[in-house]
Amino acid sequence: MKAPPRLQSLIEEGLIDTVVRQLMSGKEAMVYVVRCGDETRCAKIYKEATQRSFRQAVDYTENRKVKNSRQARAMAKGTKFGRQAQEAAWQSAEVDALYRLAAAGVRVPTPYNFHDGVLLMELVTDEHGDAAPRLNDVLLTREQALAHHAMLIRQVVRMLCAGVVHGDLSEFNILLGHQDGVDGPVIIDLPQAIDAAGNNHAARMLLRDVDNLRHFFGRVAPELLASDYGLEIWDLYQRGALHVDTPLTGRFERRTAPVDMGSVLREIDDARAEDAARRVRMAAG
């Protein structure tokens, strides 16, 4: 097929040879199957912010690192340069997360290059070499649901041990592929990935990710609906007791200690003050 304009620079740089076909068009990007020498890979072209349905919510971008203080100030003010810097940071977040998670042994597509707003990475395939299906498009038996859920919980743990929370994990961004000789879930779509230690919303997002898995697989394996892996995992992480091979029970005993209302109110006041300051900065820009 004719190469889209956004892929032309990769062809000119010799990073890809030909464009085979469009694989998918999602809320944040378009993905194409491409040939690179003897290998078949995929190229993810990020959509412009105005074309995406997924917004760069403050919850996701909190404490993300930028190159310099000038960029940080521009992003806070919402200037044109700041919006460009924010867009670049949004795209590079997935690249950084993929490299970090692949190095940690998480089942994600292997990243190869990031050039001119295009991410070149592994094409996840099934055992026959065809593009792997999304989890949402596959009919599962109870045994398969239990096995895939167990594997994904271990992947969530491995991600957290690497300091990353997916932030938008669901059946729509998990592929069932054949990777490194093993059939099973492969996690994709990480531009909203957050730093577990540096983002105040990390716990809530991890619990939501795990709950999404519980509810999806619980349709076929109802016994999973009674599990509580999210709270168990986060509690172990907070106590420094979480490792990639830490045994999990799926149960968590909630503590009933009295709530420190003064501390809660102070946190609310601090959040309001921070929001007010941010609005002033945006108005000034």
Cα–Cα distance between 17 and 13 in angstroms, integer?
Answer: 10
**Dist CA 106 CA 103 (whole Å):** 8
CA 132 to CA 262: how far, in whole Å?
51
Crossing angle of helices 202-218 and 142-161, rounded to 10°: 170
Residue of 38, 130, 137, 168 marked active site? 168
Query: Is-catalytic flag, 275?
Result: no
CA atoms of 243 and 223, how far apart (whole Å): 25
* Beta-strand runs (E) in the chain: 18-25, 29-36, 39-46, 111-115, 118-122, 164-165, 174-179, 182-187, 194-195
What does DSSP assign to residue 48? P
Quick check: 175 and 186 in contact, CB under 8 A?
yes
Q: Which residue among the candidates 189, 211, 260, 270 is catalytic per the annotation?
A: 189
Q: Is residue 189 annotated as part of the catalytic site, yes or no? A: yes
DSSP string, 117-149: TEEEEE--B-TTSSBPPBGGGS---HHHHHHHH
CB contact at 8 A, 126 and 182? no
Active site residues: 168, 189
